[in-house]
Amino acid sequence: MSLLSMLEGIERPLVPAAGKTLASLRRRMAMITMILLTLLWVQPAIVQCQSAPRSNPTGVPSGPASANGAVSTMALQNPPNVSVKPSDADSFHVDDTALAIPRVLMHQWSMAEQIAPEAVVSEPYLHSADLETMPLTLKEAIYLAIENNPNVKASQLDPLAGTEAVRMAYGAFDPDFIATADLIKSVVPAQSPLVARNDRLSTKNYDWNFGLNKVLASTNGTLSLLFDNDHLVTNNFFVTINPSYTSSLTMALVQPLLRNFGMSFATLNVRLAQSGQVQSQWDYAQNLQNFIRQVANDYWNVVLTEENLRVADAALKFNQDLVRQNSISVKVGMLAPIELQEARSAAATSEANTYSAEAAFKTAREVLREDVMVNPNRTFLPRRIVPADRPNPAEPVEVEEERSLELSVAYRPALAAMREAVRTSEYQIEFQRNQLLPSLNFIGQFGVNALGGNTLCGPAFGLPASSLNCVGPFEPTGGIALPFNGNYATVLNRMFGTRFYNYVAQLTFEMPLDNAPIRATLAQAKIAYSQTRMQYRNELSRVVVEVENSLANLTGAIRRERATRAATEYARQSLHDENVRFRVGMATTHDLLQYQNALVTAEGQEVQAEVDLENAKIALRHSDGTLLQSFQIHFQISNPRESKPWYALF
């Protein structure tokens, strides 16, 4: 519509005051004609109060193409891998082997020199920002957010910590190797001239001992293997093997028979850790779904605030044009000044609304930018995201109560985590019930030993002459030499001959008369189990309510979107009809502004209804646990029971 036709529409008949001459009337008409011709040459556009074509008043690209027309490079991005495997924790096992001991020793006191990147904050970094924009669909934004958002990465580490807890529980069966070596020398005054050649008694011991302890994963017994060695050098006359070697090899078993016994009791802590690791995976899946819902809501909030800004901007232009037209009409005497004041008031209100809408749009855009965290240049402020999707009310949506409830029970991660918590409580009861049994332990030990060295001729001390087998400097008439002459290798060979041995077989029994602490602990475990079951039922009820609420909101959003769309059409037609009446002088500026405000409200409600419908779709998929599947994101629970170290096999 041209400004000339609009002015012709709003032109009112002039009633000349009494005493006016025909010449003055002609001069006035000539002035009006000149003004109209001038305005006709300029031809300003009259903006109707309706949503402009999907243009962006902010200057930021809103389609799938950037400012230079390039298509988004993320259009064909593959879904992110969100499953957490136990092997993912291997990346944290760097420099933790025996080969890394020298490096650890070199750097153990230089921790202050290793500053984390997050601790370095420089002024240039704080002033850096990625000024480019990236148009993204909702799916692309979610994919990038999962890959880049630090909160998701932090949540992804929880299952890895659970994996390490499982490895720590398996560590109880890791064979423990023990080695000791010592040198002990003592020089004391000789208390008898028969003990040493001089006034000093000297003794020197060399010991090197080795041991291996292993908790049996099958029976919860403790198996030990000890290999002890002693080398003695002394000037004591009564030591007839000097220097001497003594070696022993001992195997021992401490096996519970009642309390702490069972073919699978030893691995109970492992099963508890595995159950906790599975819970952490389900918790991570639930956090992931919550995050996807948050990103989707923030994505559509940008669309909502952008559309609200367009509506507010269109209303402002309409009111500004109305002020300009009313100013002309007042100047030429076609309108009363109050009409101009009312138009100016409406324009000022629209300007304030535009500022509020612009602030809301900027805030929503910043929130989405921090959610997605596209930061290839590693600047302080990441790249700004431009939504490429728009609400699609025509998309078919299934609203089936029974199916949604079935899906929620089968796929809701929070329910799966609660079911695993019930299993953990059952393990705790199993453990505490075993503790009611008396303590009956079997202790078995068998060992072999040997002695060797430089044998000396010792005193016979009244033994018969037939027993004498040596003559020495201190026993010129004959003495006894023990048959243990030989070096260390001879001692080892003699030890495996099992001529000298020892064994122990022992049973120990212990039983509290009342066993009150254990019975109380078992009762607490049963109470915790009942609480966990009730919490699961409560969570199930809460999920049912959430699903029902999501279904109701989705149904209401579908109907409300249709109603608001119709209301917008009616309001637009009403404004058009009122504008026609305004042209012929049958309506005032106040009447026109009322219809214009009604159209602004209707358009805002329509945009809100469209966005609410998209959020309602997301909310339903979130409540029934299928939000990941709806975006083709594959999540699979890794079984921590599949990997078992070699030392836990026996």
Closest CA to 314 of 50, 570, 129: 50
Count of C-beta atoms within a 10 Å radius of residue 448: 19
Separation of alpha carbons 553 and 408, rounded Å: 17
* Structure tokens given for 34: 């000149």
Tokens 């008694």 sit on residue: 201
Q: Exposed, middle or buried, 496 (CB in 10 Å: 0-12/13-18/19+)?
A: exposed
What does DSSP assign to residue 241? Answer: E
Q: What is the pLDDT of residue 110?
A: 64
Amino acid at site 468: L
Count of C-beta atoms within a 10 Å radius of residue 130: 18
First to last CA, the chain: 90
Q: Is the pLDDT of residue 142 over 90?
A: yes
The residues with which 241 forms a beta bridge, in sequence order, are: 455
Q: What is the pLDDT of residue 38?
A: 37
Report yes or no: 600 and 315 within 8 Å, Cβ to Cβ.
Answer: yes
Q: Sorting pLDDT into bands at 50, 70 and 90, what band is 198?
A: confident
pLDDT (average), residues 355-363: 96
138-148 vs 337-372: helix crossing angle, rounded to 10 = 50
Q: Sorting pLDDT into bands at 50, 70 and 90, what band is 111?
A: low
Q: What is the pLDDT of residue 117?
A: 63
Q: How far is CA 31 from CA 2, 333, 516, 585, 589, in A?
A: 20, 12, 109, 21, 24
Q: State pLDDT tens for residues 218-237.
A: 899 999 999 999 999 998 87
Separation of alpha carbons 402 and 558, rounded Å: 19
Rg of the chain in Å (alpha carbons):
45
Separation of alpha carbons 121 and 380, rounded Å: 10
Q: Exposed, middle or buried, 604 (CB in 10 Å: 0-12/13-18/19+)?
A: buried
Dmax over Cα atoms in the chain, in whole Å? 173
The DSSP secondary structure of 527-588, one letter per residue, reads HHHHHHHHHHHHHHHHHHHHHHHHHHHHHHHHHHHHHHHHHHHHHHHHHHHHHHHHHTTSS-
* Structure tokens given for 340: 């101009």
Q: How far is CA 495 from CA 31, 187, 452, 644, in A?
A: 132, 31, 10, 37
Q: CB under 8 Å to 69, separation ≥6 — which residues?
A: none
Q: Sorting pLDDT into bands at 50, 70 and 90, what band is 465?
A: low
Q: Is the pLDDT of residue 473 over 80?
A: no
22-42 vs 3-10: helix crossing angle, rounded to 10 = 150
Q: Exposed, middle or buried, 470 (CB in 10 Å: 0-12/13-18/19+)?
A: middle
Separation of alpha carbons 198 and 200, rounded Å: 6
Amino acid at site 389: D
Length of the chain: 650
pTM: 0.77
Q: State pLDDT tens for residues 513-563.
A: 988 999 999 999 999 999 999 999 999 999 999 999 999 999 999 999 999
The residue ranking higher by pLDDT, 25 or 247, is 247
Q: State pLDDT tens for residues 454-463.
A: 888 777 666 6
Report yes or no: 292 and 631 within 8 Å, Cβ to Cβ.
Answer: yes
Average pLDDT, the chain: 83
Tokens 């109907």 sit on residue: 559
Q: State pLDDT tens for residues 62-110.
A: 333 333 333 345 434 688 878 887 777 777 777 677 777 777 777 776 6
Tokens 């944290």 sit on residue: 92
Tokens 């509290």 sit on residue: 512
Separation of alpha carbons 281 and 276, rounded Å: 9
Percent of the chain with pLDDT over 70: 82
Separation of alpha carbons 148 and 154, rounded Å: 11
Count of C-beta atoms within a 10 Å radius of residue 78: 7
